[in-house]
Chains A and B, each alone.
Chain A
Amino acid sequence: MLMGIELWTEKYRPRTLDEIVNQEEIVSRLKEFVKEKNVPHLLFVGPPGTGKTTAALCLAHDLYGEHWRDNTLELNASDERGIDVIRTRIKDYARTIPLGEVPFKLIILDEADNMTSDAQQALRRTMELFSRSTRFILIANYASKIIEPIQSRCAVFRFQPLPKEAAKDRLRYIAQNEGVKVTEEALEAIWVESEGDLRKAINILQAAAALRKEVTEEVVYEVLGKISPKEVREIIKLAIAGKFLEARDRLRSYMYSYGLSVVDVLKMMHKELLSAKLDLNIDEYTRAELLDLIGEINFRLVEGSDDEIQLNALLAKFALIGSKSRRTA
């Protein structure tokens, strides 16, 4: 037998539609599909950690029973290299006949909004080509990043973050099951910091439980302190202080040792610049200038420029602006 995954996000992921709490409207409509044994193409949109992937997996489970894995293809758009790979995998998969009484197979395409619009156009044709034997569930954070023709072919479901009490109940249930004591203040802190992302909330809880037997507010903040991108903060500070070479070296080893993409680093920088925790001693106008620069570099990167050169250009500008700001201050 397959052993359960000991990550709490997996261990406590609902297996059936019945187990999903607090998305009543969505769940009841999905149950209708199961009863009819007929599913349209679906588009699940909503912020991270609101149960989109879970709902898709539960639907597959309820539709096909124990053998749902044989009738479901899970793809992640940000891991499959290009639309050609996706198309080939779909073609190979759609060729075989579904097992059981449901006359189609499911294809779950996660992070679909990471596809370029060209790739989405190609996907749309693929969806049409195999619509007899397959149904698609596309999952995305933003509906606006999915092209119109795909949206219009799908039933769109919007997922909302769990309400505070429901989220806290879930965390309490998990803690109880795991024999972990958790204080009310700790739950409150997790709720605030996870910003409606239940996966993040559960991860915080598990990491906190790994640290101490009793999870208090302090333990939660200890976890949060450890996961915050201190490194990026340090790099920005070095650059603003005019220490370009040090900033460049730190950034390099940070990126390569963590295998981060430059766009991820830019996003962290952007977040840090807006964070109250970062004290750079610069005026608001300069801060706005820096944010604008990050946007420009991000644009160049999505256009396909060389990541390191663009980041170095950014750090060099940071250093220059920082030194000017010091002079006038």
Chain B
Amino acid sequence: MSARIPWVEKYRPKRIADVAGNDKAKKAFIAWLNSWVRGRPSKKAALLYGPPGTGKTSIAHAAAIEYNLDLVEANASDVRTSQALRTKIFRAASEQSLFGKRGRLILLDEIDGISPREDRGGLEVVKGLINISRHPVVLTANNPWDPRLRSLRELCEMIEFRKLGKRDIIRVLKSICEKEGIECPYEVLDYIARRAKGDLRAAINDLQSIAEGKTRITLHDLEILGYRAEQADMFTIVRYILTARTPLQARGVLSYPSLDYEMLIQWLNENIPYQYSPSLVAIADAYDALSRADVFLGRMKRRQQWSLLTYVLDLITVGVASAREKPPFKFVKYSFPQKLRILAATKYKREAAQRVLKQIAKNTHMSTRKVRLELLPFLKIIDESNPEMMRKILKSLDISKKSFEAILS
């Protein structure tokens, strides 16, 4: 396999028409560029603005190819700090294209990376560049509405790029899969597209990270992608709590934005003994706090008394970290909550078993719970010691041997 080229580079559109979505922006951009070609530009620069991954840089690249222009590209904030780069860009912008030579397209990415507050000078450099340029200048920005960028905005054709729709993203992902020879179910593409929230670059990166080197992707691969992102965070949070130097310090994790405390409770449930072994006192204390947090959580949800949340949060941070006789700090590997993994992995099996139990329950006028507790142990003995009797029993219950084995394993 060739060296790892980012797919966002490999599959950058070669023509403006191939840039996904944003038809209005594309039209405006083409009109502006054509005004340059005719020699009378409406504005010397175009400022393409909008959220990340919506095609701003891509359209400049595609235009360079389509209009046969040399692309001179720089990151806007680098132009400000590097004298060498500035000289190079200025020369490229100011030189007249000689007869027979190709024209140029100047691209300054991330213009809002220049802080207008801290450095007015940087902005002046860009404005100066636009004024002297004999070639079209393309600027990009996520947020162009800072008041201090106003004078810059006046020099530019403003072209807005919007978040991409899910369908546009899926279409691109699908064509990449085809070109890479990867078989990929629609659900996977749909999930990636939804997760990307209108950011095509993120979607392509996600696709590459689960799909590269494979010929088939399944929903299972996707789970790994999703889990990985969550795990990284949870590892840190769990370590922070379990190895806090003082109990109050553990409360620090509450400042994490969007802390999923219910998930955290599952993670602590899994990992307390790994960190606090061999101290039985510490383990028991930590579980005591955690189990009381769980009781509060239950009450909070059942009675919709959301003010109880603060006690839940106290107990899972300060409470857990207050365990007595904690062993000295050691580095341990944490693991994903097994309960969630087991429940997810055995879902279909459990459902199949429940169906069989239901059938037995119906025929014996018992509840499935009673079948499990009071009948199954005897059936197991019969199954092990007297296959003939078992065969008859199963036949009379209209249950196959295979289905029966589903409830044993």
Contacts and interface: CB of A to CB of B under 8 A. Distances in A.
A252 B409 CA distance: 14
B291 interface: yes
A20 interface: no
A312 B284 CA distance: 9
A312 B287 contact: yes
B302 A259 contact: no
Contacts of B294: 300, 305-306, 309-310
B298 interface: yes
Interface stretch (A120-128, A196-204, A272-280): A196-204
Interface residues of B, number: 57
Contacts of A10: 363-364
Given A207-B378, A309-B265, A316-B288, A244 B283 contact: yes
Given A203-B374, A308-B339, A320 B284 contact: yes
Given A6-B396, A245-B273, A310-B294, A79 B280 contact: no
A189 to B, nearest CB: 16
B377 interface: yes
A189 B288 CA distance: 43
A305 B287 CA distance: 14
B309 interface: no
- Would you call the interface of chain A mostly helix, strand, loop, or mixed? helix
A151 interface: no
A257 B291 contact: no
Contact of B374 (A74, A199, A248, A313): A199
A323 interface: yes
Contact of B283 (A9, A78, A306, A316): A316
Contacts of B353: 259
Contact of A309 (B290, B378, B382): B290
Contact of A5 (B354, B390, B397): B397
A210 interface: yes
A210 B372 CA distance: 19
Contact of A210 (B273, B288, B386, B409): B386
A305 B375 contact: no
A110 interface: yes
A281 to B, nearest CB: 17
B287 A313 contact: yes
A7 interface: yes
A313 B338 CA distance: 16
B361 A309 contact: no
Contacts of A210: 381-382, 385-386, 389-390
B331 to A, nearest CB: 18
A76 B291 contact: no
Interface in A292-310: 300, 303-306, 308-310
Given A309-B287, A316-B273, 15 more contacts: A5-B363, A5-B364, A6-B389, A6-B393, A79-B368, A111-B367, A206-B382, A206-B389, A209-B389, A223-B381, A264-B373, A300-B295, A306-B297, A317-B284, A319-B283
Interface of A: 3-7, 9-10, 48, 53, 57, 74, 76-79, 110-111, 199-200, 203-204, 206-207, 209-211, 223, 226-227, 242, 244-245, 248, 252, 256-261, 264, 300, 303-306, 308-310, 312-313, 316-317, 319-320, 323
7 contacts: A48-B374, A79-B358, A244-B280, A259-B407, A260-B373, A300-B294, A305-B294
